Structure 1
């Protein structure tokens, strides 16, 4: 009993000391040890709960998750303060067990501490891995995988759209990263799919050890055991893949244009080449490469497929928007071929549809940051090592910035300069500031080309779990549970070809 009282006292002392003599942001009344965790017990959507609290306590709100002091940002004005005015002080990420165990002790790019390694990897991602030249080389991969998706939709009486979009995203990323499909039938492909899904699930779970300091080494929920198992399995697969790439590079004498077998260099080839560069600013290790590949899978598959599914849902349930999009597509490509990536810049209304969907349904509703030094925001003191939740979902629904914010109306973007690339703080689906997503161009190209061809090629009827058709008015638009924001009920449809010659367009 004495030890428990001592722990409670220690937490209270630490809490008071961190903000002593300073004006912290307002927030609800917390409890000893657990802070405000009781307010989130049973909450299925953290971003909804945080938004509800912010309407009472303000757009810059303080909460304590166990012993972790946190700040919640819920308005574009406050987001701009953190991600632009004070960006250098909020350019780190919180350290959590899931990342420690599965991303090789923060050897990845997404959660690596802000510093020389992160800056080096940011440059590599922007210039070498996800830059325009490299994405151009990967266009044939995206086209091939998209045609395979269209073949599946064409042949099946009922399509599990959510599942097929996830497979598509997995295959595109897998072929870009390591020149192999992730949806094959071999054991390695099956295991790779399972691992990616498990990583996404585990990183979204609430681990007590990350928030209650005396639970740190107890693993009360068994999550750390699961994390170590996933890490071990992923490491085994990556070791095999790295050895294969190193052998192919050796056999091909490290050719600049391809890496043997007539294929262009994939992202692992590029990273291995950089790791051998003695003049590089930072020496890349095998763990760095493995962790970066894991980042590409977890950040590039789930979010892209979720965003595409939500957008297609909104288009299907709004016939006027669907017809207007089809008219635009017809003007650009006619009725005799598939939509190509080069057509997308001419489709202004389609781009507006995607922006509006990302506003209402950001696939990552919360962005995480951590302060590296103390600062003042809007007259409030923010200590160093404060965890920050930027409520992206709330920014896109702020009635001060969006007229009728709950209405799906792409026309609001038709004559607007507002973009989704992190410069306009009322819509930040890919984050902003230094830690904004470097894969924006890849994600947007994926969403636009898939959506355009799904609209162009097929008529859609909604199907329920039993296989019966349902009306658009009865479509379930609720969010599912998760750190990302998937649909609660995955989209299933009957698709009918709109063109007699479609089978010729998608034949291989």
Structure 2
């Protein structure tokens, strides 16, 4: 969680959230509260018409409380960043600087407010932190559960990257097996299993006539485990994504059986970022460490009642530095 949170913070403002003043802990806590609220949003999206009739409150108080605390944290960050920018007179280098510049430009074609900036950052934190965290957890659990995968991955990493430096983002295109592992992890354990969509036009679906404005649930979890479309659908087999039949263009435009990020214009805008950040994290973790568990078998049960697909019993691991990688190099990895 801290690794992903720091990655997002560095993208947004060029630095990690501070551990000393509790900034990081507050952001992580607010993300967790937002995830709990997401379940209620999900229910409201399905039952939005019946709910007002029964006079059920749509958790307005809880929502305002979380937003107020997010506002407090982010406003402080905005003020500190603006003061630093004014003092050092640096060229704008991070997202926050650019947005503050646009906010202060009276002649800008598109006017944005401080609330717009803070709302965008809340979206990035909420959408990116929990989902990426659990995706990394699921994939590492599958790698530990299937030891042969770790051996193949390390052979690929050692041959492409070598044994004297860490994996970089630019290495990912040359590591097809690592990419396949991430894709297979997302297929078997999609971070958001169910997606809500509202029809803009009436149509026929599976022999049923569906009116426009009907709200539908797309069960991506079931689709990506359907034996009609996937061979051995419940097995973790990264090799399936190394075949020519699963090219990127086919996945995106023709074969709508792989949809961990949704699809179409409403698909997840952070898909490419997720592949890079998760792939880099998984690669470095496997490159530098052996992962030892007390249990003979990893418990792959899913937690109930979660919007984000979560492990019921995340494995507790002992990290053993690999002798092939210098210890001082590995200790630079920001693993929580």
**Is 2:20 the counterpart of 1:185?**
yes
| Cα distance in 1, alignment partners of residues 231 and 120 from structure 2 | 40
Deviations 1:301-358 (A, max 9, x none): 1111111111111111112222111111121123333222222211111111111111
Of 477, 481, 493 in structure 1, the residue corresponding to residue 300 of structure 2 is: 477
Of 30, 35, 38 in structure 2, the residue corresponding to residue 203 of structure 1 is: 38
The corresponding residue for 1:419 is: 248
Of 221, 231, 251 in structure 2, the residue corresponding to residue 393 of structure 1 is: 221
TM-score, scaled relative to structure 2: 0.87
Return closer, same or farther for 1:507/1:476 CA change in 2, 3 Å cut-off. closer
| Cα distance in 2, alignment partners of residues 498 and 295 from structure 1 | 37
Q: Quick check: 2:17–2:24 contact (8 Å CA) kept in 1?
A: yes
| Cα distance in 2, alignment partners of residues 507 and 456 from structure 1 | 12
| Cα distance in 2, alignment partners of residues 170 and 352 from structure 1 | 24
Return closer, same or farther for 1:386/1:274 CA change in 2, 3 Å cut-off. farther
**Is 2:111 the counterpart of 1:283?**
yes
**Is 2:273 the counterpart of 1:442?**
yes
The corresponding residue for 2:81 is: 245
SS at match of 1:470: coil
The corresponding residue for 2:68 is: 232
Return closer, same or farther for 1:283/1:344 CA change in 2, 3 Å cut-off. same
The corresponding residue for 1:113 is: none
Deviations 1:178-214 (A, max 9, x none): 3342361313333222112111121123656845333
| Cα distance in 2, alignment partners of residues 170 and 333 from structure 1 | 26
SS at match of 2:6: helix
| Cα distance in 1, alignment partners of residues 116 and 130 from structure 2 | 22
| Cα distance in 1, alignment partners of residues 281 and 238 from structure 2 | 18
SS at match of 1:377: strand
SS at match of 1:204: helix
Q: Quick check: 1:457–1:497 contact (8 Å CA) kept in 2?
A: yes
Q: How many equivalent residue pairs?
A: 324
**Is 2:321 the counterpart of 1:497?**
yes
Q: Quick check: 2:163–2:324 contact (8 Å CA) kept in 1?
A: no
Q: Highest CA radius of gyration, 1 or 2?
A: 1
Deviations 1:398-421 (A, max 9, x none): 212111111111111112334397
**Is 2:260 the counterpart of 1:429?**
yes
The corresponding residue for 1:374 is: 201
| Cα distance in 1, alignment partners of residues 193 and 264 from structure 2 | 16
Structure 2, unaligned runs of 5 or more = none
Per the TM alignment, residue 370 of structure 1 is displaced from its structure 2 partner at its CA by 1.9
Return closer, same or farther for 1:291/1:347 CA change in 2, 3 Å cut-off. same
SS at match of 1:368: strand
Return closer, same or farther for 1:382/1:283 CA change in 2, 3 Å cut-off. farther
Per the TM alignment, residue 393 of structure 1 is displaced from its structure 2 partner at its CA by 0.7
The corresponding residue for 1:268 is: 96
| Cα distance in 2, alignment partners of residues 249 and 331 from structure 1 | 43
SS at match of 2:320: strand
The corresponding residue for 1:213 is: 51
Spell out structure 1 runs of 4+ moving beyond 6 A.
none
Per the TM alignment, residue 298 of structure 1 is displaced from its structure 2 partner at its CA by 0.7
| Cα distance in 2, alignment partners of residues 215 and 188 from structure 1 | 41
Per the TM alignment, residue 250 of structure 1 is displaced from its structure 2 partner at its CA by 4.1
Deviations 1:156-184 (A, max 9, x none): xxxxxxxxxx1100111122223342361
| Cα distance in 1, alignment partners of residues 162 and 113 from structure 2 | 50
| Cα distance in 2, alignment partners of residues 419 and 300 from structure 1 | 22
1:96-111 alignment, distance < 5 Å: none
Q: Quick check: 2:192–2:309 contact (8 Å CA) kept in 1?
A: yes
The corresponding residue for 1:173 is: 8
SS at match of 1:226: helix
Q: Quick check: 1:398–1:405 contact (8 Å CA) kept in 2?
A: yes
Q: CA RMSD in A?
A: 2.5
Higher relative contact order (CA 8 A, sep 6+): 1
Return closer, same or farther for 1:188/1:216 CA change in 2, 3 Å cut-off. farther
| Cα distance in 2, alignment partners of residues 182 and 480 from structure 1 | 28
Per the TM alignment, residue 299 of structure 1 is displaced from its structure 2 partner at its CA by 0.8
Return closer, same or farther for 1:246/1:340 CA change in 2, 3 Å cut-off. closer
